[in-house]
Structure 1
Amino acid sequence: MTASWLATTAPAQGTNLAFGGLRADTSQPVEVTADALDVDQEDGTAIFTGNVVVGQGEMRLTATEVLVVYKPDRSGIDRLVATGKVVLVNGPDAAEAEKADYTIDSGIVIMTGDVLLSQGPNALSGEQLNVDLATGTARMTGRVRTIFMPENGSPEEDG
């Protein structure tokens, strides 16, 4: 008898997948909470540090530090750059990485550095995960590894 679980390594061109089971409303306000905030009026940045939580609708992003980059005309936030134990959660899916760069207007989050995506009992890992929150889709690239679990939730052993 063979094991009913499957571990594969996909080619470097990438793997397309659903992310979050639902689309995130990228037009909703972005809320950031943290232990501390430092603002630099000259370069138009703000740095949130310590237990940072970013929320926008159903989407949650947590990290050790989040750099907020404002638009050149200071009319709003252009990007959020999260570093240190980054976790992005949207609906039932969660992704972990060393860094995430979220462009607010486009709803695109680019996660890099030991990326791990969990979707229920299944997991995917790779070098980069591009998440489109507006469409609820993602693309994992760079030496992608996938583990699929059987319906009963545990791999069968050879007997």
Structure 2
Amino acid sequence: MLRPLLTALILAAAPAAAQNTTFGGMRADISAPVEVAADNLSVNQADGSAVFTGNVVIGQGEMRLSADRVTVVYAQGGQSRIRSLDAQGNVTLVSGADAAEAKAATYDVETGNVTLTGDVVLTQGGNVLTGDTMQVNLASGTAQVQGRVRSVLQPGRN
């Protein structure tokens, strides 16, 4: 689904610029439970982390994040509350009809902010936006792309 802000993007490259856009057909419910599925799990009681590897898929409400490896960092006081998720390798973030790919991502579960880094590609329908990093706020559905931002817009779409 194309967003009005996205239509304001320019077609040429914008070196070292930042571009605001929207992300996701609907806002993600950041208070919903976080579900993790993977082929393997390794838990480190000493540092309060868990590492999921192999076909990792994380779901929270309508949001899905997949990666090769995800480290779960728990808040102080044990494994009852997740502080952040650090994803590495073949990262894909999907919300509604929008999808973003990157080399890595960090999801701050408490704030609902996801930062994708490394060759970020955002697709919204036939439109594509690329950059070095993208910060997504799942609560508001907004995103900002930074670093050699490029966009390709399909004419005649709403």
Structure 1 gaps, min length 5: 1-5, 153-159
CA distance in 2, matches of 1:11, 1:24: 31
Matched residue, 1:105: 110
Matched residue, 2:65: 61
Q: What does 1:40-79 correspond to in 2, within 5 Å? A: 40-74=44-78, 75-79=80-84
Matched residue, 2:19: 15
RMSD across aligned positions (CA): 1.2
Q: How many residue pairs are counted as aligned between the two chains?
A: 147
Give 1:135's match in structure 2, choosing from 136, 140, 146. 140
Structure 2 gaps, min length 5: 1-9
**TM-score, length of structure 1 as denominator length:** 0.89
Match for 1:50: what amino acid?
G
> Which entry has the higher C-alpha Rg, 1 or 2?
1
Give 1:125's match in structure 2, choosing from 109, 130, 135. 130
- Structure 1 runs, 4 residues or longer, greater than 6 Å off: none
CA distance in 2, matches of 1:123, 1:146: 6
Matched residue, 1:83: 88
**TM-score, length of structure 2 as denominator length:** 0.90
CA distance in 2, matches of 1:141, 1:122: 17
Spell out, residue by residue over 1:48-82, the C-alpha distance to the aligned partner (whole angstroms, 9 max, x if none): 00000000000000000000000122241000000
SS at structure 2 position matched to 1:29 = coil
